[in-house]
Amino acid sequence: MKKIQMVDLQGQYSKISNEIDEAVLSTIRSTKFINGPSVVSFQKNLEDFLSVEHVIPCANGTDALQIALMALELKPGDEVIVPAFTYVATAEVISLLGLIPVMAEVDKNTFNLTAANILPLITDKTKAVVPVHLYGQSADMEPILELAKEHNLFVIEDNAQAIGATYRFSNGVEMKTGTMGHIGTTSFFPSKNLGCYGDGGALMTRDSSLANKIQMIANHGQIKKYHHEVTGVNSRLDTIQAAVLDVKIRYLDEYIASRNAMASFYDEALNGIQELETPKRASYSDHVFHQYTLKVKNGQRDKLKAYLEELGIPSMVYYPIPLYKQNAFKKYVASDFSLSITEELCHSVLSLPIHTEVDYNEMAFISDSVKGFFKNI
């Protein structure tokens, strides 16, 4: 058996290598490395895929979050509500801009922010909320958007892990994650469902005025060259990465289907193990399975991880430490601050390999190994 990977990028590349190679070589031959035609083409294709009016590519997902906050003109001391259980970038940019990240509890089944957990945290200093569509499934956006409207809050969707997921409103309307709030952001890190071969990111919005401001901020605060209207940043998606993404976006639906096939296999194979909880699917969202994340009960997570590693099976913990316990963010909470669900998740979640290159023998080996661990304890 070949070496098991968390994400099989080599296998994915081998299937589309001719298209990728030609796209990259074409860019090199053109020497249009910055703002070349592939950037424009990918931008338009992503707008079409998401059914959104404006996509603004940028250098990475963290930049996208920072630019979003800058475009909303939030001021130092303003509060932004974020889930405590997420990757650091979500809160990092808030702190970097002199804003206050307010840590919220997440839902125990979806691991996402909820309106019920946001409401008690709203103060007269609260200006925005950042729902993260964790692991590939949308947060419950309808009540979040209603709450935000009621309290005049901006909504920035962190869609780094769920590009391509669809949210269903109670009236039957469907929208892609990242397109429901004032601004959506995403990352094209190589392991993402839509990943490039380096760093990349994008912002999306339906608001033309915000789109213009985002574009200006991402380009040194200028619309016209050498005429700088605001303080901006230098954040571009380079043409080679755009060329790669413009090939891969054609396969995104296929990639999502493959990840769902792997998830369904795991669901069935691991069903009935009392010490495990397999991922819950919310009725209002489909799942694109950026991660297939188990909850391992009774303090067995780290032992299971070590056992799998001995068998050559990788697994990952996303995330082992709540944001409020990180040294960088302790100043924003009381010394005894704690969120019970977040704490439980940090001690119990474990993600198994999941990607686009479905190998049923490999998945059977992984599943049998997990079952074998619990038979022996």
Q: Mean pLDDT, the chain, as a whole number?
A: 97
Distance CA 126, CA 261 (A): 41
Per-residue confidence (pLDDT) for residue 371, from 0 to 100:
97
Q: Are residues 245 and 257 in the same domain?
A: no
Domain endpoint, select from 215, 250, 285: 250
Per-residue confidence (pLDDT) for residue 377, from 0 to 100:
73
Which CATH number fits the domain that encloses residue 116? 3.40.640.10
Per-residue confidence (pLDDT) for residue 326, from 0 to 100:
98
Domain endpoint, select from 250, 276, 297: 250
Residue 1 in domain: no
Q: At what angle do helices 360-376 and 252-270 cross, to 10 degrees?
A: 30
Low-confidence ranges of the chain (pLDDT < 50): none
Domain endpoint, select from 250, 284, 308: 250
Q: Are residues 222 and 276 in the same domain?
A: no
Q: Are residues 93 and 161 in the same domain?
A: yes
- Peptide bond preceding 266: is omega within 30 degrees of 0, i.e. cis? no
Q: Are residues 231 and 113 in the same domain?
A: yes
Q: Are residues 193 and 56 in the same domain?
A: yes
Residue 48 in domain: yes
Q: Are residues 212 and 335 in the same domain?
A: no
Q: Are residues 267 and 235 in the same domain?
A: no
Per-residue confidence (pLDDT) for residue 2, from 0 to 100:
86
Q: Are residues 89 and 102 in the same domain?
A: yes
Q: Are residues 52 and 187 in the same domain?
A: yes
Distance CA 107, CA 112 (A): 5
Radius of gyration of the chain from its Cα atoms, rounded to whole angstroms: 21
Tens-digit pLDDT profile for residues 75-116: 999 999 999 999 999 999 999 999 999 999 999 999 999 999
Residue 2 in domain: no
Q: State whether residue 137 is helix, strand or coil.
A: strand
CB 79 within 8 A of CB 100: yes
Residue 3 in domain: no
Q: Are residues 86 and 202 in the same domain?
A: yes
Number of domains in the chain: 2
Which CATH number fits the domain that encloses residue 332? 3.90.1150.10
Q: Are residues 225 and 266 in the same domain?
A: no
Q: Where are the beta strands (DSSP E) in 133-254?
A: 154-158, 166-168, 174-176, 183-187, 201-205, 222-224, 227-228
Q: Are residues 210 and 295 in the same domain?
A: no
Tens-digit pLDDT profile for residues 264-296: 999 999 999 999 999 999 999 999 999 999 999
Q: 73: closest CA among 234, 221, 223, 224?
A: 221
| Residue range(s) defining the domain that contains residue 280 | 252-376
